[in-house]
Amino acid sequence: MNWRCRAGEIDIVAREGDTLCFVEVKRRLTLGAGRPEEAFTPKKRRKLESLAALYCKAKGLPAQPMRIDMVAVDESSGRREIRVYRGV
């Protein structure tokens, strides 16, 4: 599922075993603006970390293992390529 608040949006909130995963999805139809991975900047990662903390607080979740992931959807070649980066 995704999650929104006044501060922003988390594309996907998921659980893998005991780990809570916060996932950013970047999609590109062309590479004019660069590869989807290039859009996941350190600034964007910090924002996602901040949103993850807000999510946990809003849901009243206890301390638990968490991970930041990124999914790149690249359709620039005319076919869809999906690359998953865990723990970025």
- What's the structural domain count of the chain? 1
Mean pLDDT for 11-38 is 95
The domain in which residue 66 lies consists of: 3-85
Mean pLDDT for 15-32 is 95
* CB-count burial class (<10 Å; 0-12, 13-18, 19+) for 58: exposed
Q: What is the pLDDT of residue 7?
A: 96
3-class DSSP assignment, residue 14: strand
CATH code, domain carrying 70: 3.40.1350.10
Q: What is the pLDDT of residue 23?
A: 98
Q: In whole numbers, what is the pLDDT of the chain averaged over residues? A: 95
Mean pLDDT for 53-81 is 95
Q: Which residues pair with 48 in a beta bridge?
A: none
Confidence of residue 1 (pLDDT cuts 50, 70, 90): confident
The alpha carbon of 61 is separated from its chain's Cα centroid by a whole number of angstroms, namely 19
